[in-house]
Every structure is written in structure tokens, then in C-alpha cells.
Amino acid sequence: MNASEKAEATRIACWQPEWAASRSHRDEFLSRLAQTASSAADGGATLLITPEMSATGYHLGLARTAELAEPADGALADGVREIARRTGVAIVYGWPELTGEGVYNSVQLVDAAGAVTAPYRKTHLYGEFDTSVFTAGDQLVVQAKVGALTVGLLVCYDVEFPETVRAHALAGTDLLIVPTALARPWEFVAQTLVPARAFESQLFVAYVNWYSSGPDGYCGLSRVIGPDGRARADCAGTRAETLLFAEVDREELGTARRITPYLLDRRPELYGTAR
């Protein structure tokens, strides 16, 4: 790898925490996040990605979710921003966002200087729990810069729609960040569908999940997939809390798009409303 290629590469860290209901308290999350961000920095990462609803946990019920919800500029955000500033690591985290319109399933990217650069609200709500607790977001493509990378955000179920990922690819996203709370028996999504999304839209996808034991628990399988559909790093076989590191190199995007030019060969004039 020559010097110009090295300049294009960004080292990221994906935190796959072990879920426990007792960890839904803000102060405990911030304490654990600070330790993890420090480990990410020690490992050379400039970006730390955490799972869906990483600050609180996901399947908490209407009352508990509402109790933990807070604004995008609340005490939780202040704590994350301070950790990012102190460690020099950009952080993606998730929480129930309290607004005048309702509670959103939200994620935010906080840059290494502690500024919020990309707030995103989950646009596709899955099942009775999501639809009974959250309001759906209405802005699909949210992007920001992290070093040389243009990063975009989706949440969990969002990535299961090919249109969402393709919209990001067409808008210039290099790395699509997907915090998730994928439970068993849906391992297929992480193992097969996410690599297919990365390959068909030819971008990097960081899919970051919780882990918990039990037949209905979170399945882990956090992974970073390249634009060729192959894993750059993954947590397959890991049954514990893990900090996963991967290199994301923009040079690989051009190579993949030359070999399989899906984006160039599209004929949207034929697709009608399926564009």
C-alpha cells in the first residue's frame, strides 16, 4: 500500500456490548462508553460505533422508554460530546429522542471535537413495539465527514430495504453505519442480507449489534462489510462483549465499482416508481 492509499484509510471500532437490563441508566452507559472510547483510541480508531439504542437498551416497553427519553441536546448528549473531546474519537450512539412530536429511535454522530454533525431518526419502524413506542423519522439520507470518509446513518430495519442503501450510495456515502438490535432467529440479516446490501450498492457497511444469551436474545454478529460483499472484520463466533476494529479504505470503492459497475449501469428511466 502506498502513501496515498494509506491516507485514504480510516480505522474504525465497533462496540458490541453485552445487554443487561440493569445497564439502562445514563451514568452507567457514559462510564462504559468512556472506557470503550479510550480503548478505541488506544487501538488507533478515529470513529467508534455503538448499537441501536446503545444508551438505554431497546426492548424496554413504552413506559420505560418514555422515562429514559431525552432531547438531542440533553445531558446524555453533553456526556457523549465530552467523551469524544477527551478521547479524540468520533462516536455514533443511539437513544430515545424526546421531542414535541413524540419519541424517535435516534442515533447521532458526534465528531472528535465534540460537535454533533449527523442526527438521524429511524425511518422504517418494525412491528408492534416500534410503531407503538416511536415516531418514524422522515429524512432518509443523513451524512457527515469523518476524515476522508463520507459516512451515512441508518438504524436496524432501515437497512433491510434495498432502496435505503441505494439512496445512500447515489448520494455519495462511503461508509454506511447501521446500529442495530438484531435478535435471534434473524441471524440471516447479518450473515446474508447486509453483505448483499454492501455489494449491490458498493459501499462499506458497519453493522453493529448487541449480544445476549438465550434463544431470543441479541445475536451479536457485528461486522464491517466491504463493497465487494466480503467481511473486513466480524464477530462471528464471539459470545461476549467485543470491540471490533476494521480499516475502511476509499480506494476499495473505486476498485469494486470498476469490476461490477452497478451504479453506472443503472437505467432509472425504466424503473418507474421503483427508482
Active site residues: 52, 122, 156
∠ at Cα 158 (26, 271), nearest 5°?
Answer: 160
Query: Maximum CA pair distance of the chain?
Result: 54
Please choose, from the candidates 204, 193, 192, 208, the residue with its C-alpha nearest in 3D space to the C-alpha of residue 242: 208
Closest CA to 12 of 207, 240, 252, 256: 207
In 17-112, where do the E strands start and end? 47-49, 90-99, 102-110
Cβ contact 49:233 at 8 Å: no
| Beta carbons of 155 and 125 less than 8 angstroms apart | no
Query: What does R_g of the chain's alpha carbons equal in angstroms?
Result: 18
- Angle (CA) 129 48 45, round 5°: 160
Q: What angle do CA 261, 263, 269 make, to 5 degrees?
A: 125
154-167 b/e with 16+ CB inside 10 Å = b?
Answer: bbbbbbbeeebbbb
Integer Cα distance of 36 and 218 in angstroms: 20
